[in-house]
Chain A
């Protein structure tokens, strides 16, 4: 009893009852509630912006994944393609793409007749709704299959970008008033073809797999080849920056004496991480291309430049994860007679691995999205038309990269390219999100092990 009364003495000093908050506590709680509200508001603003961004990108870019096609039965008439009739491939190759245009015109005429369509357009103008790549497509097919000459084959041609834009609502009859490449009659014709089922808008895998196309043919441009360019660059970045970065960090963190030289190195690595990427680009231009004479526009050079950019990121994150390994582990290893290198490779490095991996993946993701340095080493513009067929070609022959391709499309005048730029951004973002998710998963996975 006496104890109890002794304990209650300080309670009375603070205020009467615990059931009632005193002014000080109330003030503190209010401050906390306010802070929480700020936090939630900040997150809400962030999320809202993210939503707007994602909505914008998806709504503008999703159109790039579908494309308008025209399916036609084309008669590969022998009289036009192989006058002598001996199927000599050299002879067939002499027929230029212009020689194929009449075949398409005929195919249109046949389709109009068969479908009973009413149009005053001449067959040549009817064929004008197709992509300029249509005759070339036909020619490639014939050269690959000369035995089909004389038969009638069904082809799926790309419609040109105006027609495609008309079906996607980007092009209207008003907007083409001054447009020489398409007329209102042609749009009427498009409507008729669509009603007849000859012209359709469907998913277009060539956007994901194909290569860039010239200014005149946005409908056939794809991001596939520049994706391969990015892939080869990432291979170079990974193969160089991971071993170099990890070796440098291990040396600096575990072996190097702590003196002013290593201090200077440390400061400069942090500085490098903050250097704008365009500086690395101009450095790459000066050193790798002008001095070492490596080929312009090659993914190898792009990879080297991006390696320079990624190294500081990897070194900093690797050193941080090495530092996070408790020194007692090193002591334990040294204490049973392990050498310093054994201590590092048997014990410290495995513990630091998840952090190193995360840092590497984030560094790679940064490099993947980097555009500025690529502009300086020429990895931009209409470059490669076919995917490389070997490792050497992949590294050395001119190519673009995803972000550079997107930049290239975005600056072209035709709005059809603009749509493709957004479509490319979707792919790039999918890659980045995948990589970052992978980083998070790896980190979780390894951290839970012990």
Chain B
């Protein structure tokens, strides 16, 4: 109980972008997320860590209502973005997802050209007034996605023809092309080599200047490198949530400690 009050004190000192309270997720009868309270701060990278199957992806998908697409999934609790309940009946998930972008665990480029992949979001949201502006947006997104140099000569080539790592960076570029305020990344680097990983981590750091980033990762080092806040999930519970430095050097909960040191997971 002491730990909780201490956590909340830390959290409340910053500007909160997303506030999640008493979150429950059920897949049919399975209770996948239990009583989770997390605050995503503005201009902060928040890392979700935890053993496989503990519900990181599930919780992440609650933040832009991607769970709506799963028929069996039921989400309860309060999720607020800038103080507004995103599960309110009046909220159109389409508008929400323009604000809260997502990069998925498996790279999933559209079977269209590289250019069209990146341009798709800006097109449907009407972010560009003409072709030149669109070109600019695409180039900027690809540069930030650390992919520009590799694909600038073949923007018309199919996105599915890229290597796995390039595809993932394409997906990142696609997600940031719509200028989301919060970017959710589900293990964005699991298919990347160390160089591309470093580039993506650099990108995440850069995105932090303007946006909130939530990243799910299985790499403790990565969480430690890129994030300021870390949440540790275990069996659907949020075990510990706090400053990354504190979680990694001085975890409060014994489960966190054993996971970080490699004893469970």
Which positions in A face B, CB cutoff 8 Å? 257-258, 326, 328-339, 342, 346-347, 351, 449-450
Contact = CB atoms under 8 A, between A and B. Distances in A.
Contact of A347 (B94, B95, B110): B110
Nearest to A325: B111
**How large, as a class, is the contact surface on chain B?**
20 to 34
Contacts of A257: 71
Nearest to A351: B111
Contacts, number: 67
Contact of B120 (A326, A339, A346): A346
A357 B17 CA distance: 48
Contact of B64 (A330, A335, A347, A351): A335
Contacts of B104: 328, 331-332, 335
Interface stretch (B7-15, B171-179, B217-225): B171-179
A338 B124 contact: yes
B124 A450 contact: no
A162 B136 CA distance: 81
A258 B69 contact: no
Given A328-B108, A332-B108, A450-B111, A339 B66 contact: no
Contact of B94 (A330, A338, A449): A338
B171 A332 contact: yes
A347 B160 CA distance: 13
Contact of B174 (A336, A351, A449, A450): A336
Given A336-B121, A450-B160, A329 B110 contact: yes
A332 B97 contact: no
Interface of B: 64, 66, 69, 71, 93-95, 97-98, 101-104, 106, 108-111, 120-121, 124-125, 158, 160-161, 171, 174-175, 177-178
A257 B69 CA distance: 11
A347 B66 CA distance: 17
A337 B178 contact: yes
Contacts of A342: 124
Given A258-B71, A330-B69, A450-B160, A335 B102 contact: yes
A305 B158 CA distance: 43
A326 B108 CA distance: 9
B108 A337 contact: no
Given A257-B71, A342-B124, A346-B120, A331 B97 contact: no
A450 B178 CA distance: 25
Contact of A329 (B69, B108, B174): B108
Contact of B66 (A326, A334, A351): A334
Given A337-B124, A338-B94, A332 B109 contact: yes
B178 A336 contact: yes
Given A331-B66, A331-B104, A342-B124, A336 B97 contact: yes
Which of A347, A449, A450 counts the most B-chain CB atoms under 10 A from its CB? A450
Given A326-B108, A339-B94, 8 more contacts: A335-B102, A335-B175, A336-B97, A337-B97, A337-B101, A337-B124, A337-B125, A338-B94
23 contacts: A326-B108, A328-B104, A328-B106, A328-B108, A329-B110, A329-B111, A331-B66, A331-B108, A332-B109, A332-B110, A333-B110, A335-B97, A335-B103, A335-B175, A336-B97, A336-B174, A336-B175, A336-B177, A337-B98, A337-B125, A338-B124, A339-B94, A449-B111
